[in-house]
Amino acid sequence: MGRITLDKVTKSFGEVNVIPPLDLTINDGEFVVFVGPSGCGKSTLLRLIAGLEDVTSGQIRIDGKDATQQAPAQRGLAMVFQSYALYPHMSVRKNIAFPMKMAGVPEDEQKRRIDSAAAALNLTDYLDRRPGQLSGGQRQRVAIGRAIVREPSAFLFDEPLSNLDAALRVGMRLEIMELHKRLATTMIYVTHDQVEAMTMADKIVVLRAGNIEQVGSPLELYHTPRNEFVAGFIGSPKMNIFGGNPAQQHGATKIGIRPEHIAASTETGTWSGVVGVAEHLGSDTFLHVHETGLAETVTVRVDGELPVRHGDRIFLSPDESKLHRFSEQGLRA
């Protein structure tokens, strides 16, 4: 079981309030991602759930039981950090065994759990090595192994892949998702990377300045962002946002249109502009278009083969059915 409920939880450091009253339910077995810009309170929220910080007010329940005053070890959760926090002088086996040794798990049970975690994480051949003899990805797997053997009711990950290079990050991302499918245990995963959030989550919690801006599945957030902040944060390249006349024509203070929902043509279209930069990715091209009268730059995602260059005149036509309308306050209209 791993159902976690936050009820009007707040956190202040001295005079500074970091988490205003916040309600959130995480269902058993869910993969939940907390995403938001640096400093928005993601780690603080995770640490409150783990019990590494005390709440200032409010209640945290784990599987229906009040855990607000429980010490971290009593909560039955396991946390994995960005810095792997392994013991350098201990073998992989001893590192993984450590929390079980602390908890007094019998030796034969320890061995069974280590073998099973090592098999799940492709670490079987590395159990006698020390952390210094492993790659970054392998070290992160050891840290995850150490969490698995505790058989927690939920895993808490705080930006676990930020120290890895881009290719390794994608690989580890898939491994963590596979692990979640296999264990079916609740996972809460913190990241500032919206691509990680979109690809991994069952449910995304978008945070800004300690506030929950929106909770939803990746596609809910993509299709119906509740406000301009979520609209701009989810999706890559970012949604274009325009005010002025084009917005007024659509009965809104501002309109948003994603780069993939604007067609580009060298002959005709609704809007006209001049290509600033064309980023050729092979599969797609991202055009950054100036002099449209809409915004300083309009970003458009087009076919990888469209033969356009810096300085070319280009015509843009939005798919009207994909427009997002926002009020003065930036709320979805």
Ligand X SMILES: Nc1ncnc2c1ncn2[C@@H]1O[C@H](COP(=O)(O)OP(=O)(O)O)[C@@H](O)[C@H]1O
**Identity of the amino acid at 230:** V
Quick note: the x/- pattern for ligand X over 230-249, rule CB under 6 A, is --------------------
Q: What is the DSSP string of 32-61?
A: EEEE-STTSSHHHHHHHHHTSS--SEEEEE
Residue nearest to Mg ion (CB): 43
Task: Show the DSSP H helices in the chain as ranges.
Answer: 42-50, 92-103, 107-120, 136-148, 166-183, 194-200, 218-223, 228-233, 244-249
Which residues have a Cβ under 8 Å from the Cβ of 177 and sit 6 or more positions away? 31, 199, 200
Residue 44 interacting with Mg ion (CB under 5 A): no
Which is closer to ligand X, CB of 54 or CB of 66?
54
> Residue 215 in contact with residue 203, Cβ under 8 Å?
yes
Partner from ligand X, Mg ion, none binding residue 38, C-beta < 5-8 Å depending on class: ligand X
For ligand X, the closer of residues 36 and 256 by Cβ is 36
Contacted by 49, from Mg ion, ligand X, none: CB < 5 to 8 Å by type: none
204 binds, among Mg ion, ligand X, none (CB under 5 to 8 A by kind): none
- By CB under 6 A, is residue 40 in contact with ligand X? yes
Q: Which of 4, 5, 43, 225 contacts ligand X by CB under 6 A? A: 43
41 binds ligand X (CB under 6 A): yes
The candidate with the shortest Cα–Cα distance to 258, out of 304, 214, 217, 316, is: 316
Given Mg ion, ligand X, none, residue 203, with its beta carbon under 5 to 8 Å by kind, binds: none
Residue 175 phi, psi dihedral angles, 5° rounding: -65, -40
Give the three-state DSSP class for 178.
helix
In Å, how far are 143, 148, 152 from 60, measured between CA atoms? 26, 23, 17
Contact partner at residue 18 from Mg ion, ligand X, none, CB < 5 to 8 Å by partner kind:
ligand X
Interface segment toward ligand X; rule CB under 6 A; list 35-43, 175-183, 241-249, 321-329? 35-43
Q: Which residues bind ligand X (CB under 6 A)?
A: 13, 18, 36, 38-44
